[in-house]
Structure 1
Amino acid sequence: MNTIGKTINKTRKIKGFSQEKLAELSSVNLRTIQRIESNENVPRGKTLSLICNVLEIDIETLMKIKIPEKPMTEKIVNWFFLVILNFLLMTIFGFLLLDSNANWNSRLGGFLLSFFIPMTIVYFTRKMSGFERMFKFGFGFMIYIILSIFMIGIQNAIILLIPFLLIALAILYYGNRILNIND
């Protein structure tokens, strides 16, 4: 299927422009041109207008090109993986913090994991927004907070589990700011 990036790439090559020359003529950053042509970004507004003017492409024709969607099976596999990952994270925290043999060492381990597991997730999902990341990878934590209040009581949940889960959720949401990622 043809995409906007492929069309821009093909037209640029037909016109004999390098990416650098197109960037210079259109007053668009070279890295932006590279991202558009590799389909990492979809150009909109002014960027698309500047590139189309230089390449003499009709913007309406270019906008009619559909962006391919992921197949349904891939979406199902992704969501299945996310459910399993959330369940695994809930199990790890429950084992470390709620086990009857849990001592201060396991609680310290729970605290460290409530920081380092979300930071690892943030590092590998830098392009995701904080809300999307928190929804995908922290949904199990949100469910766990609600379940723990009903299963072990609000007092035990606040003492044993909720602070660690809130730390993890906060890091998932604000992780880009912690790592100073400006994407």
Structure 2
Amino acid sequence: MNSIGKKISDTRKLKGLTQEELAELSKVNLRTIQRIENNKNEPRGKTLSMICDVLQIDKAHLQELNQLSQKKTVTAFIIDGIFLILLNLLLVSIIGYLTLPPEATINSKTGAILLSFFIPFFIVHFTQKMSATERTIKFGFGFVAQIILFLVVQGFINTCKIGFRSWTFSCILIFIGVLFYGKIMFKPQK
């Protein structure tokens, strides 16, 4: 809930008013009050002034709260972006560490295959409300970057040799496939 809608809702409840009563006292449509409190509208100008007068709230304070809320949203977006970049680097590093070195054994490669299934499986479990495309982009872009880096550094032929010989491509395909199609393994939540 944005800060203005939440503040209006909380103050209305503290004063013991219903939405209908607030609408009547402020001469604002009931549907408008409901939409403001449900974050479907943000009150401005005269509407905000009339609601603030009835609830005895400082209009300037509400607008400052809204600006702070927007700054927090930008900060949260930046922090989420940094976290996703670090998580993708970690995932690529784990799979690469288990498959790419020449001394990688069948055991480490098998472990990479298992991790390529179970890590995205748990990601899907915790992000079921996210679309498959969004989840794949957010949690799989590290592997796309890895393939592009291999192509630039090694060339197409060497990248294919390294990728298939080391099982890295198999791991990437499993990982991306489970991210995208993994939701079918879960029953729909009611």
Matches for 1:1-183 after TM superposition, within 5 Å = 1-3=3-5, 7=9, 14-15=17-18, 57-59=30-32, 62=36, 63-65=40-42, 69=70, 70-150=72-152, 151=154, 152-159=158-165, 160-181=167-188
**Which whole-Å CA distance do the structure 2 matches of 1:125 and 1:171 have between them?**
13
Aligned residues: 143
Deviation at 1:142, TM superposition (A): 1.4
TM-score by length of 2: 0.62
**Which whole-Å CA distance do the structure 1 matches of 2:93 and 2:183 have between them?**
26
**Which whole-Å CA distance do the structure 1 matches of 2:131 and 2:5 have between them?**
24
**Which whole-Å CA distance do the structure 2 matches of 1:131 and 1:140 have between them?**
15
Gap runs ≥5 in structure 1: 17-55
**Which whole-Å CA distance do the structure 2 matches of 1:101 and 1:161 have between them?**
14
Of 155-164 and 106-115, the range deviating more from structure 2 = 155-164
Amino acid at match of 2:172: L
In 2 relative to 1, CA 141–181 (structure 1 residues): closer, same or farther, beyond 3 Å?
farther
Secondary structure of the residue aligned to 2:130 is coil
**Which whole-Å CA distance do the structure 1 matches of 2:128 and 2:92 have between them?**
23
In 2 relative to 1, CA 177–59 (structure 1 residues): closer, same or farther, beyond 3 Å?
farther
Of 157-166 and 64-73, the range deviating more from structure 2 = 64-73
| Backbone CA RMSD of aligned residues | 3.1
**Which whole-Å CA distance do the structure 1 matches of 2:175 and 2:142 have between them?**
11
Amino acid at match of 1:171: V
Runs of 4+ in 1 over 6 A off after TM superposition: none
Greater helix content: 2
Asked if the contact 1:145/1:165 (under 8 Å) is kept, the reply is no
Deviation at 1:14, TM superposition (A): 4.2
Q: Percent identity?
A: 34
**Which whole-Å CA distance do the structure 2 matches of 1:3 and 1:93 have between them?**
46
**Which whole-Å CA distance do the structure 2 matches of 1:58 and 1:71 have between them?**
27
In 2 relative to 1, CA 101–181 (structure 1 residues): closer, same or farther, beyond 3 Å?
farther
Gap runs ≥5 in structure 2: 20-28, 44-65
Which residue pairs with 2:52 in the alignment? none
Secondary structure of the residue aligned to 2:4 is coil
TM-score by length of 1: 0.65
